[in-house]
Amino acid sequence: MDACEWDCHCAGPAFLIGLFYGNLNETYEIINKWKKKDILEAYFNSPSKGFSTEIEGKSILDWSEIFLKLSKEGLKSRNQLNSKKNNEEIYLKNVDSMITKKSTKAEDSLKNLNQ
């Protein structure tokens, strides 16, 4: 999310709000099992490996799908609606798109440079 265009600036806050307000316990149960060493390794590997970076035997893509689902559930239950009666899930479209196409903005940029 650190390499996004204007349309995804609200994605990070909405994503975290969904986790915090709707599924904090479930989120904590998942990340509580992660080892600090593995998190740091993923942090340093993710710029070059992108979604294929692994933590606890699962790719960041797999974890992204899990956490996006939890976040969406949290935003649904929070049910803060805008003037068009949409809840905050609308801010996750960009994240959802990256996960669906299995490629981050950084990965797309690298592909374009290498063509």
The total domain count for the chain is: 1
Q: Is residue 63 part of a domain?
A: yes
pLDDT per residue over 10-34, tens digit each? Answer: 898 999 999 988 789 999 999 999 9
Structure confidence at residue 105 (pLDDT) = 79
- pLDDT for position 99: 93
Residue 65 domain-assigned?
Answer: yes
The overall pTM is greater than 0.85: yes
Ranges in the chain, pLDDT < 50: none
Tell me what percent of the chain is helix, strand and coil, each rounded to the nearest 5: 70, 5, 25
Q: Is 17 left (phi over 0), alpha (psi -120 to 50) or beta?
A: alpha
Domain that residue 101 falls in: 24-109
Instruction: Let me know if residue 43 belongs to a domain.
Output: yes
